[in-house]
């Protein structure tokens, strides 16, 4: 009868998530140090032009200082809301993938503001797997360029 395999028998699997408020790419770093893309996900509303995100006119705000009524800027709130929604979706995916034992170590590389959204939404067990965070937006870089950035930033 064979004993259940211990953590020592299991090779660590590191995932790298490169994201901003509109897109995320998932990479896996293999034991030999190679980086391979294993997936991507997109948040279509965040990819839209800011002006296309809102519906209706600008909201009004009554100024409590007595200066009267002025127009609010719903674009800021709308884009923040969409970033929050996408961060929650990514966090749920990472939780599911972690529960399925697809990775044991996580590196987050995200646009600085989005990195905060994502970290806030992560489950404690997933957050505990984070081995590094990089506050850079590499979403417009090629996979090869991302690999070079990671080698420079993490694996000196």
Q: Which CA distances in Å does 83 have to 19, 29, 48, 102? A: 11, 27, 12, 25
User: Which residues on adjacent β-strands are paired with residue 42?
Assistant: 23
Percentage with pLDDT > 90 across the chain: 54
Are 19 and 25 contacting, i.e. CB atoms less than 8 angstroms apart?
A: yes
Mean pLDDT in residue range 45-66 = 45
User: Is the per-residue pLDDT at 82 higher than 70?
Assistant: yes
Instruction: Say whether pTM exceeds 0.75.
Output: no
Helix (H, G, I), strand (E, B) or coil at 55: coil
Binned at pLDDT 50, 70 and 90, residue 77 comes out as low
Q: Which CA distances in Å does 35 have to 32, 143, 146, 147, 152? A: 9, 9, 9, 7, 14
- Sorted by where each begins, the domain ranges of the chain are 14-56+70-153
Mean pLDDT of the chain: 78
Distance between CA atoms of 8 and 11, rounded to whole angstroms? Answer: 7
Q: Which two tokens stand for residue 67?
A: 């200066």
User: Which residues on adjacent β-strands are paired with residue 134?
Assistant: 109
Task: Write out pLDDT tens, residues 8-32.
Answer: 344 589 999 999 998 999 999 987 7
CATH code 3.30.420.60 for 14-56+70-153: yes
Task: Write out pLDDT tens, residues 108-148.
Answer: 999 998 999 999 999 999 999 999 999 999 999 999 999 99
At which residue do the structure tokens 């009267």 appear?
A: 68
């Amino acid at each position: 009868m064979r004993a259940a395999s211990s953590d020592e028998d299991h090779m660590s699997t590191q995932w790298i998530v490169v994201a901003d408020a509109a897109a995320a790419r998932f990479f896996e770093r293999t034991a030999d140090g190679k980086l391979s893309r294993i997936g991507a996900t997109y948040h279509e509303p965040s990819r839209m032009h800011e002006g296309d995100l809102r519906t209706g006119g600008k909201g009004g705000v009554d100024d409590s200082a007595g200066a009267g009524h002025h127009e609010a800027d719903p674009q800021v709130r709308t884009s923040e809301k969409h970033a929050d929604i996408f961060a929650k979706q990514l966090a749920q995916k990472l939780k599911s993938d972690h529960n399925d034992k697809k990775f044991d170590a996580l590196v987050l590389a995200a646009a600085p503001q989005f990195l905060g959204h994502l970290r806030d939404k992560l489950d404690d067990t997933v957050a505990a797997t984070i081995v590094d965070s990089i506050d850079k937006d590499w979403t417009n870089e090629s996979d090869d360029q991302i690999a070079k950035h990671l080698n420079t930033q993490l694996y000196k």
